[in-house]
Amino acid sequence: MNRRDFLKHSAAVSVSAHVAAAHGAPTEANAPIPCAVLGLGHGHALDVVRVLSASPDYDLVGVCEPEQAIRDRVAGSPALRDVAWLEQEALLSDERLVMVAVESTVPRLLEYAHGVIDAGKHLYLDKPAGASLPEFEALVAKAREQDLLIQMGYMFRYNTGFDLMRRAVQEGWLGHVYSINASMCTGLSPERRAALAWHPGGIMLELGCHLIDMIHLLLGPPAKVTPFLRQDCPSRDGLTDNTLAVLEYDRAMALVETAAMEVSAFPARRFKIAGTEGTMILDPLEPPAGRLCLRQAAGGFQAGWQTVPLENLPRHVRDFEDLARCIRGEAEFSYSKEHDLSVQKTVLQASTP
């Protein structure tokens, strides 16, 4: 699939109804889709449970956490108060379930995801797609053979600021794009740092993946990736916590910065894209706040610098709405398996010393 296809955010093309029917999807257009959550160790897990519990598109049958230590840690969460607990084998063998969201810790994401696809269910897989590209490739191949959907949990795909940025690139408002500069940092507790130290990519694997996904949507896959992976926190606890990746293109460069020890980091998260005819900046990313500068008026915006109004939508809501439409056969999925594979390849290149 080409870059223009990647840039499409919401496809309106119908697909054959047999895709949904073949995997037990409800035949009634508005019937809730039976689903479950497998794994609760991911940083997004409880938010996903909340969204699925509240969504009219889904019937959350239950959740499963195979690791007792994680289950003990999250069991008292208000998000789980009225949710049934399931055993892993029972979850995977339940023929009612049409979709399963895998929200485990990252080292177990692909293990659990393979179980979901092997069980013939559509998959929501949180990010990043593990640490083994061959294992992810095998997962995608199996899903393709069974005509099953995989939706990755990259949270900026449905962010209104990035919606407008993709439109600006697709419609040529910015001219030839030659530069992207993206920063997404955080400040982690010692416990959270220890949980992320399992991979040499550290915070680049954990957070840089979101930015790399967006850069792929805007520019496609890079020709070369150069990582700079450092540990600069005085605690020397093994986490790669100060990172940069340079993505090189034929006539463009993109810089991805992420660190794990920034004070009050969320308001400083930023994404800047510059072209020969204009520049757009998201600052911060959530809630999205945008500024746009155009050499000439375009897309209903005037020349020069201006603030652009952006709606602040809660995470994950539009993701699961889109997935529901696709499961029902009402729309074609907006993000291809080829895109997900390409993103994962770049993420691992940016996270490998």
Instruction: Judge if 302 and 166 occupy the same domain.
Output: yes
Residue 349 lies in a domain: no
Q: Looking at the structure, do residues 204 and 253 belong to the same domain, yes or no? A: yes
Q: Output the domain CATH number for residue 78.
A: 3.40.50.720
Residue 282 lies in a domain: yes
Q: What is d(CA 251, CA 245) in angstroms, rounded to the nearest whole number? A: 17
**What is the model's pLDDT at position 118?**
98
**Same domain flag for 85 and 107:** yes
Print the domain residue range for 33.
17-154+317-328
Non-local CB neighbours of 161 within 8 Å, separated by 6+ positions: 271, 282, 285, 288, 289, 290, 310
Per-10-residue mean pLDDT of the chain, 353 residues long, equals: 39 33 52 97 97 98 97 96 96 97 98 98 98 98 98 96 98 98 97 95 98 98 98 93 98 98 97 98 97 98 97 95 96 94 98 96
What was the pLDDT predicted at 235? 86
Is the CB of residue 9 less than 8 Å from the CB of residue 166? yes
Q: How many domains does the chain have?
A: 2
For residue 175, give the CATH number of its domain: 3.30.360.10
| Predicted TM-score (pTM) above 0.85 | yes
Across the chain, how many H-helices and E-strands are there? 13, 13
Query: Does 204 map to a domain?
Result: yes
Residue 11 identity (one-letter amino acid): A
146 lies in the same domain as 231: no
Res 250: pLDDT: 97
Identify whether residues 168 and 308 lie together within a single domain: yes
